[in-house]
Structure 1
Amino acid sequence: MALVNAGVVVLDCAEPERLAEFYKELLGAEETEASANRIEIQGAGGFRMAFRRDVNATPPSWPRPENSLQAHLDFVVEDLDEAERGVVGLGGRPLEAKDAAGPHEERGFSDPAGHSFTMRRGIAPTAPKQG
């Protein structure tokens, strides 16, 4: 029997309302919980994310080496060009990064609060990326 029934990806940010709106549009998600300091959304297939207010939040500097990546999200898309136009239209921005090795074409982005994520064409790999 599992000790945990469900998981939620939580991103700290200065403006959870703004970031929740970005990811709601990006994922076609709906808001499921909201308080003054936390907003949770749920997308297709039950994927859940939350956005927690941290007035001192600073985004990671990835891909620059002076700060670690911390964490990032991978999303699978059919059309990278269309996905990129959508991300930029929602207030995200492309990140300049070296092409990742592997069988899947991908592009890096940051959300409006600076959290990085990857859009990957095709099926997401099941094993960790090597190298």
Structure 2
Amino acid sequence: MTVPKTSVLVLDSTEPEPLARFYATLLGATVEPAGGDPDLLFVTGRCGAFLGVRRDLGAAPPSWPRPEDSQQAHLHILVASDALDEAEREAVSLGARPVAAVPNGTLDRRTDLRRYTDPAGHSFVLTAAPPVTV
């Protein structure tokens, strides 16, 4: 029998409090201390932790979207397809910066996927949620 587990992606940041508040506001969640670690915050919602943000005084933002660098990791935030424009306005008003990815020299012009960096430089996308099948 497998022991029940859960996982959470943790982002490093020199200033975890404002970054955790950014994601909590964007995701309609709250910021909670992570128990015994004073340098770790969890962004939590009804279903538990969405994301962790950890203090790392040496953290440097990723250099993506430079063509020679990879994203290494990024968040996909799923949104109803008819709410993408509203979600984009909300993210930008909170401090997200739009990113124009240029794979192989051509712009990605899909409207169902929007690329950004958070205020600390981590990449994330807003993308249309897949249809739910019952």
Q: TM-score, normalised by structure 1?
A: 0.82
Offset from partner CA, 1:91-125 (integer Å, 9 cap, x none)? 11111113277xx810101110000001012318x
Look up the SS of the partner of 2:91 in the other structure. helix
- Percent same amino acid among aligned pairs? 48
Following superposition of structure 1 onto structure 2, how do residues 52-67 of structure 1 map, counting pairs within 5 Å? 52-67=54-69
In 2, Cα distance between equivalents of 1:88 and 1:25: 12
1:50-94 superposed Cα distances (whole Å, 9 cap, x missing partner): 111111111112221232211000011122211111001111111
SS for the counterpart of 1:60 is coil
Deviation at 1:3, TM superposition (A): 4.2
- Answer whether contact 1:99 1:106 (CA < 8 A) is retained: no
2:10 paired residue number: 10
1:101-120 matches, within 5 Å, as 105-120=112-127
Q: Which has the larger radius of gyration?
A: 2
Equivalent runs, 1:1-131 vs 2, <5 Å: 1-3=1-3, 5-34=5-34, 36-78=38-80, 79-97=83-101, 98-99=107-108, 105-123=112-130
AA matched with 1:10: V
Q: Distance in 2 between matches of 1:74 and 1:66?
A: 22
Unpaired segments ≥5 residues, structure 1: 125-131
DSSP-derived class of the 1:56 partner: coil
Using a 3 Å threshold, how does the CA distance of structure 1 residues 23 and 33 change in structure 2: closer, same or farther?
A: same
Whole-angstrom distance in 1 between the partners of 2:123 and 2:116: 6
CA RMSD of aligned residues (A): 2.1
Alpha carbons 1:27, 1:44 under 8 Å: kept? no
Contact kept in structure 1, 2:100 and 2:108, CA below 8 Å: no
Aligned pairs, how many?
122
Indicate if the aligned counterparts of 1:14 and 1:53 stay in contact, CA closer than 8 A.
Answer: yes
| Distance in structure 2 (CA, Å) of the matches to 1:93 and 1:2 | 41
Equivalent position amino acid for 1:6 in 2: T
Aligned-partner residue type, residue 92 of structure 1: A
Q: Could you tell me how far apart the structure 2 residues matched to 1:72 and 1:3 are?
A: 27
